[in-house]
Amino acid sequence: MDSQIKKIHQQLVSKQITCTALVQEKLDLLKQNTYNSVNSVLDTLALELASKVDAKIAKGESIGLLEGIPFGIKDVFMVQGTYTTASSELLKKYKSPYTATAIQKLLDAGAIPLVKENCDSFGHGSSSENTIFGAVKNAIDPSLVAGGSSGGSAVNVAKEYTVFSIGGDTGGSVRQPAGYNHIYGLKPTYGRISRFGLMAYASSTDCVGPLAKSIEDIRIVLNVMSGKDPKDQTSIVSNEISEEAIATSAVKTIGYFKNFIESDAIDAQIKSDFLASIEKIKAKGIEVKELDFFKSDILVSTYYTLAMAETASNLSRLDGTNYGNRIEAENLIETYAVTRSENFSEETKRRIVGGNQVLSQGFSDEIYLKGLALRDQISENFSKDFQEVDIILSPVTPSTPPKIGDSLKDPLAMYLSDAYTVGFSLGQLPTLTVPQGTSTGLQITAAKNNDELVLKFANFLKDTI
C-alpha cells in the first residue's frame, strides 16, 4: 500500500476533503467498532485541532505533511489532560499531568490524536486480553486474539480507524500484534525515540514504535519522533532517514537462525512459508547463511527474568499513595497491600512476584546476575553475526494467533509466543515486522543504529515476496 499520510495530505491541500470531516469520520468508526480497540476517544481535542487545520487551509497557508493526519496512542503514553489507564483497574481514573516526548513531537508536527488504545495491562501480555476494557479482537478474524501488548493500536491501523498508531515494544509488543493483524510495526534501535512519558515496564528494553500500513508511513513517523531528549538519558542522536535512501537495497547477504526454523514448536505452515521466502530471496542473487543462536527457550527465560525484575522495581511506585485508585484499610501497610492486591491483574501480580523473587537476597546472584551475563552474551552473538550478514530474517511468531481465551489458560504458552521477538529486544536492535512471507509476517533485523537498512530491505521484500 502507498503512503496514506501523503495521500491524505494531498486531499487536504487540494480541498477534496476537510480535516474536520476526516476526523469526524474516523471518530464515528472508533465509537462504533466492536473490536474492543478503544479505551477513550479524544473527540473534543481532535475536532478542535482539526478546525485549526481547516482554517489554515482556508486562508491559503501551507501545512506540514503530518498536519491534520489522525493517529492513535496506546494507553500507556502520557497525553496531558487525558485518561492514561494502562488498561488497568489501578489507573482507570488517572489523568496525565504532562505529555510524552514522542507524542508531543507528533502534536508539534500537527498530527491529530483520536484515541487512547486498548492494550495488555501495563504491557503485561502477548494477546491484549489482560485488560479491564475487554479482550481486543483480531482485525482479520475476530474470534482470535489481536496480539499484545499493543493489540488495540494494531487493530485500529488494520481497520483504518487511524492512519497510524504509536505503540510500545518491550519484548515484541509492537511487532507481534503487527504480524497478527497484517500491518507494519517497527521496534527502532533502543534509545532512538525518547521513552519519557511512556509508562515503564522493563526500562532496558522499552521502545516507542510506530504501526502503519506502509513502509513510507513508518519512515515519516519515525523521523518525527526520533532524537536526543534531555528528559531521557538513554535517548540517542540519530540521522533522519530520507525516502531516496531506502528506495533501493544494497543488501548482499542475509542470515537466519536455523534453530528457530528447526524447532519442534514452529507451525509447519509458517516454517514452509518462511523457507519459500528464503528461496525467493536467493533467486534475486542474495547470499543466505544459516546462523547459530541461543535456543528460543533460553531467550524467553532470560528476557522474562530481566523483564520481571524491572517490572517489580518499576511498579513499586504504584501503591495508591501518589497514583491511582487507593483502597483504605486499617493501617498504612494494609492499605498498600489491599490497594495492590485488588487493583493489579493476575498477570501483573505474577510478574511482580516473579521479579521480587529474582531480586531477593540469596537469589539475585544465582538468577538475576546470570540473566545479565546471558544478555551480554546474546549481544556479543549478534555483533559476530552482523560481521557475516547485513540482515537477519526471521518469522515473527512460531505459531498463528490463538483463539480468545486460550492464552489466559496457559501463561507459559503465551510467554513462548514471544520466542522469536525477545532476543532482538535484549540486543536492543532495530527490527521491523512486514506483512509478507508467513501468515504472521516476517521480521527484518539489522545491527544497532542501522534502522535505515531495515527499511531499505523492507522495500526490497515488498517487491520480492
Catalytic residues: 74, 149, 173
Q: Look at residues 16, 36, 31, 123 and name the one whose alpha carbon lies nearest to residue 77.
A: 123
Inter-residue contact 459 to 247 (CB < 8 Å) = yes
Buried b (16+ CB within 10 A) or exposed e, 145-158: bbbbbbbbbbbbbb
Read off φ and ψ for residue 302, nearest 5 degrees. Answer: -65, -45
**DSSP 3-state of 112:** strand
Name residue 257's amino acid: F
DSSP strands (E only) in 282-408: 287-291, 391-395
Cell of 278: 528464503
Length of the chain in terms of residues written? 465
Inter-residue contact 304 to 202 (CB < 8 Å) = no
Cα Rg of the chain, angstroms: 21
Inter-residue contact 30 to 156 (CB < 8 Å) = yes
User: Who contacts 81 (Cβ-Cβ below 8 Å, separation ≥6)?
Assistant: 45, 95, 96
What are the angstrom distances between the C-alpha of 258 and each of 124, 208, 398, 429? 29, 29, 13, 19
Q: Look at residues 87, 99, 103 and name the one whose alpha carbon lies nearest to residue 39.
A: 87
Q: What is the DSSP letter of 184?
A: E
Query: Residue 230: exposed, middle, or buried by beta-carbon count in 10 A (0-12, 13-18, 19+)?
Result: exposed
Inter-residue contact 297 to 340 (CB < 8 Å) = no
